[in-house]
Amino acid sequence: MEQIRRLTATEGGERVDKYVAQQVPSLSRSRIKQLIADGFLRVNGSVVKPSHRLQDGDEVVLRIPAVEEVQLVPQHIPLRIVYEDEDLAAVDKPADLVVHPAPGHELGTLANALVARYPDLPVDEDGRPGIVHRLDKDTSGLILVAKNEGARRDLTAQFKRGEVDKVYLALVDGKVEPSDGVIDAPIGRDARDRKRMAVVRSGGRQAVTKYHVLEHLGDFTLLEVRPQTGRTHQVRVHLAFIRHPVVGDKTYGHRKQRLDIKRQFLHAHRLGFRLPASGARLELVSELPGDLADVIRGLRRPNLITAEEWERLGSAD
């Protein structure tokens, strides 16, 4: 059941996240920060950041959405493990594999497969086993799994400090210029559709994405993308923001797709991080899966039709 808490600040100068943590002790600090980032907290009617300083008499309204518990059922689903030691495993996730169960989708997820393979995985405060970062359902590639609590805390801290080198391959619409760029634009919930994220100037969380052009392919560009922060849907939102959305992205991309692709062209290509036990640096690589590699091969053919020709064919139907 959803709850709404209405609070009135009595002392000025305190951070809103710390104030709410004191007033609602049943919520963890990380949960409060996530609720604020998702736009569920307002001060005097406005969305704010966790670091917002309250004034005496400010009205704080916090919505706490109902959370439906999902029973995690072990399932023996084949996984491609590209690296493993006593602390962690790295999985090369295929597209169409959901990472965490959700109401209405309790089975067939990566989490189901992991608890079957590793019954003693540590869980976070939301009950998620071992997984220390996220990949969207239709994004393929590398994802890390902590096998014990010490490793979970270590890897989570590396992600929070920005010490993990994350590299994605993305095919986007249009010719991206210049060949190197930085997108620095805050991300938060879309005010018109709470299921979507968007670049928001007020109340959004800092988000920075670097990109490098690998190849121009007709009306498309193959990019190497390095998110410097870890916001939900960050790469997809930022690339759509600069008007070069990821090809095949049904949420942030063009409604009419011009390529034969059944999912978004986004692949977690490389992960560089420090091993919890030794501190040694490790870099893992996952090459483009077959469906995405086929798209690139098709674009390199000299007889590829242009966007204008495609539009003319469509208008002739």
| CB neighbours of residue 216 within 10 Å | 15
Task: Enter the DSSP assignment of 132.
Answer: -
The stretches in the chain having pLDDT less than 50 are none
In CATH terms, are 81-160 and 165-302 the same topology? Answer: yes
258: Cα separation from own chain's centroid: 25
92: closest CA among 38, 146, 37, 143?
A: 143
| CB neighbours of residue 169 within 10 Å | 22
Q: Tokens 């619409």 sit at which residue?
A: 173
Alpha-carbon distance of 143 to 93, in angstroms, equals: 7
Whether the CB-CB separation of 137 and 208 falls below 8 Å is answered with no
Q: What would be the CATH architecture of the domain defined by 81-160?
A: 2-Layer Sandwich (3.30)
* Residues noted as catalytic: 136
Q: What's the helix, strand, coil split of the chain in %, to 5?
A: 20, 30, 50
Residues 53-101: tens digit of each pLDDT: 999 999 999 998 876 555 789 999 999 999 999 999 999 999 999 998 8
Q: What is the pLDDT of residue 311?
A: 63
Residues 90-127: tens digit of each pLDDT: 999 999 999 988 766 788 999 999 999 999 999 876 67
Boundaries of every domain in the chain: 3-64, 81-160, 165-302
Query: Could you tell me where the DSSP H helices lie in 145-213?
Result: 149-160
CATH topology of domain 165-302: Pseudouridine synthase (3.30.2350)
CA 25-27-29 angle, 5° bins: 100
Domain 3-64 part of CATH 3.60.70.12: no
Q: What is the pLDDT of residue 202?
A: 77
